[in-house]
């Protein structure tokens, strides 16, 4: 089927809000090239489970598409229209399984040496969207916080090496009750600016529910879900013909109910956590990888005002068949390896935060948990310097965000 043949009933299986927008924008969907449309539908079919910022971006995209003339629309998608696809791709149910189509399309484009052309077309389209989109001022400057090194009492190597040139390194901060002070600062921001999914805490260990409007994600709390996923993988890889691509396609169809996560009262967060576990490499096995990937995805998708990520010791490396097996026993933690992972993840956290609107006014703090080392990046602090001021972590946050 081609986009020109789209009908209202083709979207009957979409969730309510996604279906409503597909039907309302049916006329423009029919005009889009097949090389592009499934990528848009992949986002639209998840509309009901997206964060407010993502929904806003999709709504603005449809407004922009409907606002231009047919001639302008054809010009905007000229590069996508020049990409050739085969009849086999046209036979894929790209309306109800757009993610499967996009995966197969990527493989086809690579084999036919068209991947670079597609990437250029996509980059030009995104740039065009961003140039026409309007941004609202933030209610408060963004704040990123990273806690690392839990369980490591004596670390001789220098920390925050990739970040030091961008901020101020503190070597004698007061570390007493540091974690509690940082949690209080995050919760205070959530109470002062009570917006949905605007304030996050992602942790490798278990978290107790926060009384404030704080979105919490925990690797340890998701242990039953991770176990269910590993059992699913363990079963599916025994199926004849189940290769890596087939397994990815199978996992892409998993929903929270399949892994025992339904009924929490927050379907958006449930779907987010399932995607972190099914789309991230190693998120099912290593707490540091989980925290890093969940932080990256939350920053990219929800664009929060506050993001606190806490890294705790992951399990030691073992043979892959043992790691993937749901029947494998517990392993020993690896604090030393985990602090190396977390130190690099803190750098990635800051980079991803810098990609968001308002980055020039954002603040970032990373702390060696339980110790007197921290680093702050903010317009309030000089770059590439070191301070021996005996400040508390709550004072650092207050100064960085003032």
Average pLDDT of the chain, as a whole number? 92
- Which residues, in sequence order, are CB contacts of 277 under 8 Å at separation 6+? 222, 225, 226, 229, 259, 283, 284, 290
Residue 200: what are its φ and ψ, rounded to 5°?
A: -125, 150
pLDDT in tens, 191-243: 999 999 999 999 999 988 877 789 999 999 999 999 999 999 888 888 888 88
DSSP letter for each residue of 104-142: HHHHHHHHTT-HHHHHHHHHHHHHHHHHH---PPPSS--
CA 315 to chain centre: 23
> What is the rounded CA–CA span in Å between residue 372 and residue 383?
19
Instruction: Give the up-direction half-sphere exposure of residue 344: CA atoms within 13 A in the CB hemisphere.
Output: 7
> Rounded to the nearest 5 degrees, what angle is found at the Cα of 370, between the Cα atoms of 364 and 373?
50
Q: CA-CA distance, 228 to 283, in Å (whole number)?
A: 14
Average pLDDT, stretch 377-385? Answer: 96
The CA-atom distances, in angstroms, between 132 and each of 21, 135, 261, 280 are 21, 10, 39, 32
Q: What is the per-residue pLDDT for 325? A: 58
Statement: residue 354 has pLDDT above 50: yes
- State residue 136's pLDDT score: 81
- pLDDT by residue (tens digit) across 166-205? 999 999 999 999 999 999 999 999 999 999 999 999 999 9
- Beta bridge partners, 158, equal none
Q: Of 312, 315, 278, give the one whose Cα is nearest residue 293.
A: 278
* Start-to-end C-alpha separation, the chain: 56
In this structure, are residues 366 and 152 in contact, taking their beta carbons and an 8 Å threshold? no
Residue-level pLDDT at 173: 96
| Whole-number Å distance between alpha carbons of 375 and 383 | 10
User: pLDDT by residue (tens digit) across 54-106?
Assistant: 999 999 999 999 998 888 888 889 999 999 999 888 888 999 999 889 989 99
Distance CA 327, CA 314 (A): 18
Domains located in the chain, CATH noted = 3-132 (no CATH), 143-401 (3.40.720)
Choice between 382 and 130, residue whose per-residue pLDDT is larger: 382
Alpha helices (H) along 133-214: 178-192
Question: Distance between CA 106 and CA 116 in Å, rounded?
Answer: 11
Residue 376 phi/psi, 5° resolution? -125, 130
Which residues are CB-neighbours of 261 under 8 A, at least 6 positions away? 225, 270, 273, 274
* Confidence class for position 322, pLDDT limits 50, 70, 90: low
């Amino acid at each position: 089927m081609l986009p020109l043949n789209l009908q209202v009933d083709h979207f009957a299986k979409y969730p309510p809000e996604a279906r409503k927008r597909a039907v309302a924008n049916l006329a423009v969907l029919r005009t889009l090239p097949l090389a592009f449309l499934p990528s848009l539908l992949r986002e639209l079919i998840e509309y009901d489970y997206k964060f407010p910022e993502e929904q806003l971006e999709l709504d603005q995209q449809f407004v922009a598409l409907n606002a231009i003339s047919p001639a302008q629309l054809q010009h905007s998608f000229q590069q996508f229209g020049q990409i050739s696809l085969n009849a086999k791709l046209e036979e894929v149910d790209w309306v109800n399984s757009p993610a499967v189509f996009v995966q197969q399309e990527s493989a086809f484009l690579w084999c036919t040496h068209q991947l670079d052309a597609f990437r250029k077309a996509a980059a030009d389209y995104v740039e065009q969207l961003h140039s026409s989109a309007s941004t609202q001022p933030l209610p408060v400057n963004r704040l990123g916080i990273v806690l690392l090194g839990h369980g490591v009492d004596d670390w001789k190597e220098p920390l925050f090496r990739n970040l030091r040139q961008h901020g101020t390194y503190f070597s004698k901060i007061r570390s007493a009750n540091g974690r509690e002070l940082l949690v209080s600062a995050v919760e205070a921001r959530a109470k002062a600016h009570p917006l949905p999914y605007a304030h996050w805490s992602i942790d490798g260990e278990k978290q107790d529910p926060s009384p404030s409007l704080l979105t919490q994600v925990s690797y340890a709390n998701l242990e039953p879900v991770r176990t269910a996923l590993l059992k699913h993988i363990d079963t599916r890889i025994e199926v004849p013909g189940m290769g890596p691509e087939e397994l990815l396609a199978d996992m892409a169809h998993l929903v929270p109910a399949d892994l025992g996560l339904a009924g929490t009262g927050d379907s958006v967060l449930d779907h987010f956590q399932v995607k972190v576990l099914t789309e991230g490499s190693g998120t099912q096995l290593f707490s540091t990888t989980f925290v890093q990937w969940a932080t990256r995805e939350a920053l990219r998708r929800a664009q929060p005002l506050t993001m606190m990520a806490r890294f705790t010791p992951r399990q030691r490396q073992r043979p892959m068949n043992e790691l993937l097996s749901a029947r494998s026993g517990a392993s020993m933690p690896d604090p030393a390896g985990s602090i190396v992972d977390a130190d690099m993840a803190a750098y990635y956290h800051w980079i991803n935060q810098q990609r968001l609107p308002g980055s020039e006014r954002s603040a970032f703090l990373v702390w060696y948990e339980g110790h007197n080392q921290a680093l702050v990046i903010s317009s309030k602090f000089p770059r590439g310097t070191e301070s021996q001021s005996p400040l508390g972590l709550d004072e650092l946050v207050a100064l960085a965000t003032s």
